[in-house]
Structure formats: structure tokens, C-alpha cells
Structure 1
Amino acid sequence: MPKLSAYEKEREANIARNKALLEQLELKQAVESLGFPAKSAPPKTKAKPVQPVKKSKKKEEELPRRQSARLRNTAAVDPNDSPSKKRKREAEEQERLAKESEERLANEEREYLAKRPRHVDLSLVDLTDEGVEVASLAAQLQNIAQAVRPKRAGDVDVFVFEENEKDEAEVKELRKKLQGLKIVARAKVTENRVYSAVYHPDPTKDLIFFGDKHGQLGMWDARAPPDEGDDEDESNTDTKEDGKYWRLQVHWPATSQSSISSVKLDPVDSHTVYTSAYDRSVRALSFTTGISREVFTNDDDTLISCVDVVPNGHEMWIADAAGGVTHLDLREHKSKGKWYQLSTQKIGCLSVNPTRTNFLLTASNSREMRIWDIRKLESMVSDLALDETTSEFDSEVVNQYRESEGSTGLLRGEWRHEKSVSSAYWDPRGRSIVSTSYDDSIRLWDIHSTAFDSPKPFPSSRPFTRITHNCQTGKWLTILRAQWNPNPDVYPHFTIANMNHSLDIISCKGERIARLSDPSKITAVQAVTCSHPSTVERAATGNASGRCVLWAPADD
């Protein structure tokens, strides 16, 4: 090999420096022009999020271009005009400016009112965006309302065994049904993060309601055939949506100020869905009339965190961020509700006992889970000789009543967690309790039926088991809550999201029944869960992007 001259050596060194500099600046085209080899493309990930179905759009007509208001309304000025014409022209100009100012103020007023919460009755046209087929949505709601499907009550003494072998047999039977569940449908039901969900009891379909961060209620018929007009790519089954869904802007404005904190169905006929939101209101959407009406609103700035409906369908309990609960009779005006401050900090969850409706369960940021006897709360006015028109009882009044002799049995049980209690619910029997907490634990209680009959506090409030579970969702994920399967005919069990992108199903004794996952289709935490009230092999989940999943047997 001939010896390189000093010039050629310096030239080779310059080429090497330029190559390194260009690669450092990621100037791909410049590198390629110098003849350097290109980098290989990164491998594609297996899991792809489902994409919303593209609707066919009509070609928009070209609108006329905007013209300057100054050029459109201002006439050419003639320097030879008489003083009277100049005064007339100036007066017309001032009148025009005044009119434009009035129109601008009117538009600003309309925009301001559009951002305020809505307290009036709203039709389906008001709840949906332009272009949505309201007729098909109304027909779907009417179809749901054809059959009466009341919430079935459980038996407090069912599935109570003295031998452990019987519990193991029930768990084994459930495991056989549930561990084989697969993802059978996916769709982006809501536009934003899913906050809450409820499964409709209709056994002929999989109909789930999801509430999102911006006040939107997504109604998903997960197994429905797609519309004929949908532009689908049949070859790409990994990213296409399944079923049909409708998005209803139930709460307003469409911002995080209207996050739907809970969704409940009417327990009497399931023809009404109740939603509570951070806009300080509770609304009821009737399937028979298609009208959304406001049933409750807070006059102050206190956020509503949770609601539960009493099995008789006439009463509702509402929790708020001020540590209070409101008892509302749905047959009376919304101003007739009574407010009791049961905690010094936010009550994030409450649950009415489904078989003994006099017992109310609350979970708060004060780290306490408590069981209250509602009958004692209602007798507070007479026992303390208060004014019968009193509708608000702050913590001072409640504590005063707790220290009095007549309050025996008001607080039936309590348990202090190590950190805030994010949720606590009664099971369908009204016997077991499951709680979740930021101390990364799931706790389970089993209260004997005889303990409810005595007016004294429960003999023991200690949980019988504690399960380690990561509950550190942070800022961008919905709080993990353990949700009981509402079916009273099966062995009690609950679902809860796992931070490893899976769904855990656990029995009332704390034994894990199944862990459902599919890395090829799920790459996000399924934070919100719910189960079908009558079909055992059904579960639905939702994540932080509004994408929802239906779990069912693959061959169903």
C-alpha cells in the first residue's frame, strides 16, 4: 500500500471528523450523501392501540373568503366633502363601532355562559355532537328500557361455610370459569381518561357505561355489529374497534372540572343512569325519555366524590370533598337533602349495605374506614332537640351527638389505615367489606350476621386478611378501586387493576382466582373495572386514554 502524503492524511482525518459530527447532529441525509451506511430501523412493537372508526365525510363546500370589516364598511373619503357630510360620516362610523362593540360583548357573554355548569334539562341533541345519529341512539335507549331488570339482592348467610374445603371448591369452580377470559372487544369509548364505569344487567348484550375526565359518558355496546357506513380495514384486526359506542356530554364544561366521579344504575328497573361529577352536580339520564335532568347540586364549591343509590330506588347518598355525606330523597326537591359532616377530610367513597340498608360505609382521606347506622343520624334532630328545619350538621354537631347518651350505635365500627383509604365497598350479601389504601394494601372484613342485630358496636373491627397490592397510581392514572362482582348467585369475588397492565380477580377470602393479561393488545394500566351483574364470565376495563376492553370467553 503506497504511503499517504501529509495532505491525504489530513483529508482522511477531516472526513472522519465530519462523519462523527453529522451523526451526532442526526443529519441523516447529509450522512447518506457522503456514502456512509444508514442505521437500521427500530423494531415495531406488537401491541397497537385501537383506533377510532373513521366515518365517511361529505365533501365540504368552499365558503367565501372573509373580508376586512374596515374595507367592507368604510367608504372612500372625499376631501371635497362638505362639513355636514363629514359629520354624518363620522356619526355612522361611531354607530358602526358601537354596534360591533355590543356584538363582541354579547359573544363574550355567550362564551362565558357556555363554560358554566348546566342546570337545566338536556335532550339527546344537547348531549351529542353534530353529526351523531340521535335517532339511532334514542332507539338504542328505548330498546334497553323495554325490559325491567331490577338489582337482585343477596343473602347475608349464603356462601358461608364452616369447612375450608367448601370455600376451596367454590374458588376452584370460579377459577375454571374466569381464568380463561380473553380480550374479545376493544374501543376508544371516551375521549379522555376513564374515571368510573358500570355494567348494565341486560343478559342479551354487553352494555357498559364509562365516565371520563371531561364529563363525558360513553355508552358501549361491545358486541354489536358495526354500522354499514363505517370505513373499516378488515385486514388490520389488531387496531380496529369493536362494537358501537355513543359519547354523551352529560356534565359541562368539557374540562377536568367536570370529571365523572361515579356512575350508578337505577336499582329498581335499570332504566336510568346516575352520574356524579366535579362540577358539583348529580344528573340522571332516563332511557325512556332521553332527557338528562339534574337531581342534586352543591351551592358551594365542594366537589362531589361519590354516590350510591339505596336498593329501593328512592334514596341516594352523596359524598363530598368536605368530609360530608348528603342524604337525598329522589322523590323530593333537590334542596330537601340533609348534610352530615362525618369526617374532617374528604370522603372519597361510600357504600350502602345492599341487604341491610341502614348501614353506611365511608372511606376518607383521614385514613379511617367507618360503618354508620343511618337510623341514628336521622334521629339526631330529636335527640339533640334541634330545629326540625335544620338540614346541615357540621362536625361539631356530629361530635356533640356522638358524646351524648342517645348516640349509642351511631358508629358501629371503624378501622384506621396507614394511609388514605381510596375505596371501601359492601359485597352483594352485605356481609363482606373490601378496602383499598395508599399504603399498598387490600383489606378484607367478614361481619357475622348477628352483629348487625345488636345496637352495640361490632365486637371486632379488625380485617381478617391483608393483601399487598401496588396502589401508587400517581397523577395520570385513575385511583385503583376493588369492585365486587354484583352477581349475588356466585361466590363473592372482586376485580381490581394491576399496575403490570393486568386484571386481578380475588375471592372474598383473599385468594387470587385469576390474573388476566394480554401484552399483545394491552400496554396500559386498566385502572377502572366492572363486572356483569348476571353473567359470571364478563368483565370490562378502561384506561387513561379512554380505551376500553371487554373480557369474555374466546369461544362465546
Structure 2
Amino acid sequence: MVSKLEKQRLENIQRNKELLRSLSLDKISYEIKKDVEEKKAETKAKRQKRKTDTAPKEPIRKSRRLQGIKIEDTEDYQTAMRAKELQQIEEEKLEKLRTMKLPGNVSLIDILKEQNKDNEIKGEDNDDEKLLSEFSRLSDNFSVGDFYEVISKKPTDDKSINKLRKEFKSIDLYEKFLPNQISLTEDRLAIINFHPSNTEKIIVGGDILGNLGIWNPNSDTDENPAITSFNLHGKHISKIAFSTKKLNNLYTASYDNSIRCTDLKTLKSTEVLGLLDDNGNDIGISDIQLSTPNTSSYENLLFFTTLTGQFGSFDIRSKPRTTSISLYRLSDKKIGGFSINPNANYQLSTGSLDRTLKIWDLRKVNANSNWSEKFPSDACIHAYGGFSSRLSVSSTDWNSSGDIVCNGYADAINIFKLGDTTQWNSDFLYKPKKKSKEIIPMTLKPDHVMKHNCRTGKWVSILKARWQMNPKDGYEKFVIGNMQKFFDVYTANGIQVAHLGGKSITAVPAVANFHPTENWLVGGTASGKCVLFS
């Protein structure tokens, strides 16, 4: 039995519990306890961290040298170097623009400034940037002839230049038919030429399949051009030449090994040479030229070069020849073109795939080609010397004033003003040392160099600069095709006097030629079409 006192104590305990529950003191007590425990844990973590921090540590930052990093490998250095290289390239391009001279000693940078002015490009702060942008657009595939409109506006004191420019401005493109309607040959024209007549503009062209086309514009009907075509050779026709005595006798050379003579009146064609090597294999003919009637000992001779680098000649009055012709080794590779000096038929120049222009003397024959690596035992003629090009030389042409023009894949036209070479001795350009092999010195330097895009590629015939043979107006000048579908005409001093073209010329007139005496121009395209200015 619970005493009264014990009963009172139990009631007091129950009352206090209810009071505590109503005040939520147990929850507060739990939270206080939790907070105390968290503070203890935090204090313990700080003590452990202080212990860890007191342990020795490596420096936070180390030099690149201590880390084994080369300065050249860092991104900052490489970025700086790239910026420096770009700046250097731009400076080199600007310097190239400043030093690149056009005919008349005008720099390309001046011409580009003139063009920018014409196009109303203003602002001096970014002039260099705009010029470089224009130069980059041009890249290397341009010719000085592309700037003729700007160049011709510049005043000149040379009355002959002004006269020539005015004259060429007055000649017109043939109007009766558009160039793409005048199909001179079936395939790509490789060579084109005028008949020497100065009354009729008779044009003859040969293509890469051996087809010959003859066009007489004076006989054109309203419906069709007066063109006669026939297959004359089995391969590429490389050259067309007219006899100086019988003007209707047309000589053609071909890669098929033959040289033929065709009478334009009767259209009868005969073979005058079929060239074979010692094993009976065909030797392709790359170029031919008839001697000029100024040296009796070389009169009636037809000179030729081959695809294998040889040179020969024969009398056109003789019967057809095959292997009984003396050949001289002038190159280890293809001779693309050659030219006989009009004032001295014993001198000739050759342009070759071996990247040289060389000048030779027929009067002195050497038993061995000491300079040749592949054919040292072949007979050779004396070499005065030559010119070394960066790339192959496509053509060389000699005029009556003693100037040679040559061009090739190095994208340049070179003019050598040699003057009276009849006074040259055999050792004019050099003297070989005693007891040494005769090595041909590349000592010739061009007097004038013009930038010209000669990158014709696979489908366009090679560009070749050609002098006007006997200009009636007395001015020495040559023509060359322009990749922008124009003809460019230059004087012997490298001054441009014409840039002929038009919207109706839809293809490059790559093979181009002057009439021997008149200022008429003709060109042929990759599709066998003919372009005539007269």
C-alpha cells in the first residue's frame, strides 16, 4: 500500500514531465547536444589540419626551367612566333610589291594603288592591308599585261610607244564570224601562222592530232568561214614555216618524225624528211626553221631540232632523207624551240626542257659532247654560253636587231639585247681552262624581264613569244598569248604596247603569231578555234 507521501511524490513527477513536454525542452536538449558534438568535431578537424599544414611542402609555383619545360614548347611563345612569322611574310610581300618592276620601271605596288584609286578604295591606315589582299588574290598567276589599262595611262616621252599604242588600239577583231565559229582544226591548235602575203590574210594552223587547217577570210561566205582541213601528219604538228623563195611552199614538222612540204596551190604534199635513229625508231621533230638568204654557205638549208635534244639540217633541194643526216647533241632533254640568227645563219639559240637557253656556233664541230652526262660520245657544235632558268624554257626567238626573247614555265619573259653577234669569237663568252672538260657556262643575263603567267596546264598549248619577222613600220615587237584570253604585245625594250581581247574571245589564244610585215595578229585555242585581229 502506497503511502500518502509516496503518492504525492509520483504526482509531482508526472506533473513535471507534462510541464517539460509542454515546453519542448527535450527537443531543445537534443539540439544543444547535437550542436555541442558538431563543435567538438569541427575543433578536432581544425587541430588535424594544423598538424597537416605544419608538414613540409613543395612550392606552389615552380619556374619552367625547374619543371623541365622549354620556352619553345610554351603556347605563349608559339603564338608570338606565329604572329612574328605572319608579320615577316607580309613585310616580304610588300617588299616584293615595291621591287617588282613593270615595263617602264613602274612598280607593281604603284599599279595596284592606281587600281585601288580607280575603284574608289580610300583610307591611308589600311593601304598596305588592301594592297596585300589584292596581291594575294592575284597570287603568282598574273601577267604584267593584266595591268595594261593602268600602265598605258601613264605619260611617256617616247613618241614611238604612243604611236604603236594608238595603232594597235585601232585594229579590230574579225567581225564576220565569232572566234568560236571559226574551227580551223579538229583538235587543240599547237601552231599557227600567217602566209607571207600582205594582200590576203591567209592563215594556217596545225593541231595535236596532225590536222592542218587553211583559212582565207577573204573567201568567207555568209554561212561559213572558207576553211580547208586535212590530215597531214600522224601526230602533233610542232611547226609551220614558209619558203622565202617559193611563198606557196609550206613546210610542216611533226612528232611523228616527218617534215613535209605542201604546195598551197595544188595542195600536193610530199615528205622531205623521215627521221630515224640507229635502231630504226622514229625521232620526233620539235621545231624547224628555214635559213634566211643572207649567207650563201647556209642558203637553202632547213634546220630542225628533236624531242630527244638533237639538232640537224639538210638542203631542201635534195631528195627525201632518212638516216643519212648528221645530228648534233645540244641537250640531254627535249628542245622545245630554237631560232637561227637572221644576221648570221651559223648562230642559233635553243630553249630546252633542261631549263636552259644556249647559243651555238655551227662553224665549229666537236667530236664529243663533253658537257653531256647521258650522251658524252655524241658529236656537238661549239657553245658560246647560255642562260639558266628556274624551270624549263619553252621557246626562244631571234630578231634582226640581235635581240632574243625567251619564255618558259618560270612565268617570265626574258629579253637579251645581244646586238651584232657576227663579231663574236668562238670564245666570246668564256675561255675554257686548259686540260678541262668543256662545260657550257650560264653567263648570259637578260636585259629586260617581264612577269608573265605561263602556267597553261595540260589542256592549253604552251605559250611562246614570237617576234614580228620584218615589221613594215620598223619597230621590233613580239606577241605572246595571255591566260586572261588576250594577246600581249611588247617592244624590244619590254614596253607593252597592246593588250588585245574582248568578250567574244571565250578561250585562251595560246598559240599566237604576227604577220611577217603587217600589224595583224592571229591566235589559236584549245578547241581549234581561230582569233584574228587586223
TM-score bucket of the superposed structures, by smaller chain: 0.5 to 0.7
Q: Does 1:244 align with 2:226?
A: yes
**Matches for 1:205-354 after TM superposition, within 5 Å:** 205-226=200-221, 232=223, 241=224, 243-252=225-234, 258-299=235-276, 300-312=281-293, 314-333=300-319, 334-335=321-322, 336-354=324-342
- How far residue 534 of structure 1 moved from its aligned partner, in angstroms, is 2.2
2:168 to 159, 170, 178: 178
Give SS of 1:246's match. Answer: strand
CA distance in 2, matches of 1:456, 1:501: 44
- How far residue 430 of structure 1 moved from its aligned partner, in angstroms, is 5.0
- How far residue 302 of structure 1 moved from its aligned partner, in angstroms, is 2.8
CA distance in 1, matches of 2:407, 2:206: 21
- How far residue 303 of structure 1 moved from its aligned partner, in angstroms, is 1.9
CA distance in 2, matches of 1:482, 1:177: 20
- How far residue 168 of structure 1 moved from its aligned partner, in angstroms, is 2.5
CA distance in 2, matches of 1:331, 1:526: 35
1:201 to 190, 193, 196: 196
2:454 to 465, 471, 475: 471
CA distance in 2, matches of 1:452, 1:541: 37
**Alignment correspondent of 1:533:** 516
List gaps (5 residues or longer) in structure 2: 1-154, 294-298, 369-373, 431-442
**In the alignment, residue 340 of structure 1 is paired with which amino acid?**
Y
Q: Does 1:514 align with 2:491?
A: no
List gaps (5 residues or longer) in structure 1: 1-164, 233-240, 253-257, 385-393, 403-409
**Alignment correspondent of 1:9:** none
**In the alignment, residue 422 of structure 1 is paired with which amino acid?**
S
Aligned in 2, Cα 1:413/1:188: closer, same or farther, shift over 3 Å? Answer: same
**In the alignment, residue 425 of structure 2 is paired with which amino acid?**
S
- How far residue 222 of structure 1 moved from its aligned partner, in angstroms, is 1.9
**In the alignment, residue 426 of structure 1 is paired with which amino acid?**
W
- How far residue 450 of structure 1 moved from its aligned partner, in angstroms, is 5.7
Check conservation: 2:256, 2:283, Cα contact below 8 A.
no
With the length of structure 2 as denominator, give the TM-score of the two structures: 0.62
Check conservation: 1:478, 1:527, Cα contact below 8 A.
yes
Aligned in 2, Cα 1:454/1:198: closer, same or farther, shift over 3 Å? Answer: same
**In the alignment, residue 223 of structure 1 is paired with which amino acid?**
N
**In the alignment, residue 365 of structure 1 is paired with which amino acid?**
L
- How far residue 172 of structure 1 moved from its aligned partner, in angstroms, is 2.0
**In the alignment, residue 456 of structure 1 is paired with which amino acid?**
D
**Matches for 1:27-42 after TM superposition, within 5 Å:** none
| Structure number with bigger Rg | 2
**In the alignment, residue 178 of structure 1 is paired with which amino acid?**
F
- How far residue 176 of structure 1 moved from its aligned partner, in angstroms, is 1.5
Q: Does 1:505 align with 2:489?
A: yes
Give SS of 1:412's match. Answer: strand
CA distance in 2, matches of 1:549, 1:348: 24
- How far residue 342 of structure 1 moved from its aligned partner, in angstroms, is 1.0
**Matches for 1:450-489 after TM superposition, within 5 Å:** 452-458=423-429, 461-489=444-472
Give SS of 1:317's match. Answer: strand
CA distance in 2, matches of 1:542, 1:302: 26
RMSD: 2.2
CA distance in 2, matches of 1:524, 1:266: 31
- How far residue 329 of structure 1 moved from its aligned partner, in angstroms, is 1.9
CA distance in 2, matches of 1:422, 1:340: 20
**Alignment correspondent of 1:397:** 377
Q: Does 1:495 align with 2:479?
A: yes
Aligned in 2, Cα 1:172/1:452: closer, same or farther, shift over 3 Å? Answer: farther
**In the alignment, residue 391 of structure 2 is paired with which amino acid?**
K
Give SS of 2:376's match. Answer: helix
Check conservation: 2:411, 2:454, Cα contact below 8 A.
yes
CA distance in 1, matches of 2:401, 2:317: 25
Aligned in 2, Cα 1:448/1:534: closer, same or farther, shift over 3 Å? Answer: closer
**Alignment correspondent of 1:67:** none
